[in-house]
Copies of this chain bind each other. A is one copy, B any other.
Amino acid sequence: MSEQSVVATRGPVRVVGTGLLGTSVGLALRAGGVDVVLSDPSRTTVLLARDVGAGRLPVEDEPEPALVVVAAPPDVTAEVVLAELAAHPGAVVTDVSSVKGAIAAAVAAGGGDLRRYVGSHPMAGSERSGPTAARPDLFTGRPWVVAAPPEAEPSAVLAVRTLAVDTGATPVMMAAAEHDAAVALVSHVPQVAASLVASQLRAAPPGSLDLAGQGLRDVTRIAASDPALWTSILAANAAAVAPVLRALRGDLDALIDALDAATGDPAADGALGTLAGAIAAGNAGVGRVPGKHGGSHATYDVVTVLVPDRPGELGRLLVDMGDVGVNLEELAIDHAPRQAVGLASISVLPGLGEHLESQLEARGWRVAG
């Protein structure tokens, strides 16, 4: 990293579990000069983490850590947190697992010192896992939820907020239950829906899938996620995910009834209203998803351009956009089956679409519908 880092976290920081997240925390803190001590049940894993520069191994007469970051798999996190609280009575202990309520409850039930435990959840990840996939920039610009039990001391909360800031993330204070409900809604239920839609494709005749467009690809992209990881996430957050899925099933039941009514009579009384209501409710919900910069989801102008499928062509298009002075808000690329041309759908702020179209056409681009 070229910039000089200024970090406030006080070491030594003990990182327990040197997979993707733990090693990335170590790399980010090391970049700021913090002393990081690494621990992992796997000798190979901890040596790899050390070798990529995430910290050092413990020494004899190791000084007591100021902060312990538990980055263990979700199903063993509470147990590791309890062990670390007991072993390091002067340290603040946090964890980074993706479900917070169950872990806080288990730490309380296990007699852990809740004044020194503050759960957290950096909203960052990667398709890859393990210490070699780790990056010092993994958390840059991401929200990092800090979920403190009521018993937590302000200094413990501050230590975890500071950790988030020092890794480049934005700390977001939330109660554990609030966090768990939020991730059920914005992450766990979408994952289930994507998996269920993709699952129905298993028996499709091959020709059918040639009709797939960008919509199917978008809806099912995250269906490629790791089953083992998601099993433990869903199990740990079952109490928050199930009610949302029940509400969704209620809506689905109503839709199926409406479709059954419409099968006999496409103008069936009430059926069309149910169908229209379901799509309109989706309009209202998606309108609340924040766009970039945390602003509300805008209705962008969309300009679609034919891009020859050669290295550099898309880059040339976007350089031309830069020359025109129009900023890109979203970009989707769609490749038709068995064609050597792509369609780039460029979203720009409302009102800029026509200007961009004419300027791109003047530069020789073929603008499509």
Contacts and interface: CB of A to CB of B under 8 A. Distances in A.
Given A311-B327, A319-B315, A189 B195 contact: no
Contacts of A138: 368-369
Contacts of A205: 178, 182
Given A241-B259, A260-B242, A282-B194, A289 B325 contact: no
A225 B279 contact: yes
A291 B335 contact: yes
A126 B367 CA distance: 13
A140 B292 contact: no
A143 B185 contact: no
Given A221-B218, A223-B285, A266-B102, A143 B200 contact: no
B238 A289 contact: no
Nearest to A134: B369
* A interface bracket (residues with beta carbon within 8 Å of B): 35 or more
Nearest to A251: B196
A281 interface: yes
This chain: copies in complex: 2
Given A276-B231, A322-B313, A336-B141, A195 B260 contact: no
Contacts of A244: 200
A293 B235 contact: no
B368 A137 contact: yes
A170 interface: yes
Contact of A213 (B123, B215, B259, B337): B123
Interface stretch (A86-94, A156-164, A302-310): A302-310
A235 to B, nearest CB: 4
Contacts of A123: 211, 213
Interface string A333-344: 101111111110
A202 B309 contact: no
A75 B276 CA distance: 15
A215 B208 contact: no
Contacts of A1: 366
Contacts of A249: 249, 252-253, 256
A198 B286 contact: yes
A294 interface: yes
A118 interface: no
A59 interface: no
Given A230-B279, A242-B263, A252-B249, A220 B190 contact: yes
Contact of A216 (B200, B267, B289): B289
A63 interface: no
Contacts of A57: none
Given A138-B368, A186-B209, A369-B137, A259 B276 contact: no
A290 B252 contact: no
Contact of A290 (B140, B202, B275, B337): B337
Nearest to A179: B211
Given A183-B211, A197-B248, A218-B221, 6 more contacts: A185-B200, A187-B211, A209-B288, A245-B255, A249-B252, A311-B326
7 contacts: A142-B336, A196-B252, A198-B285, A216-B289, A223-B279, A245-B259, A249-B253
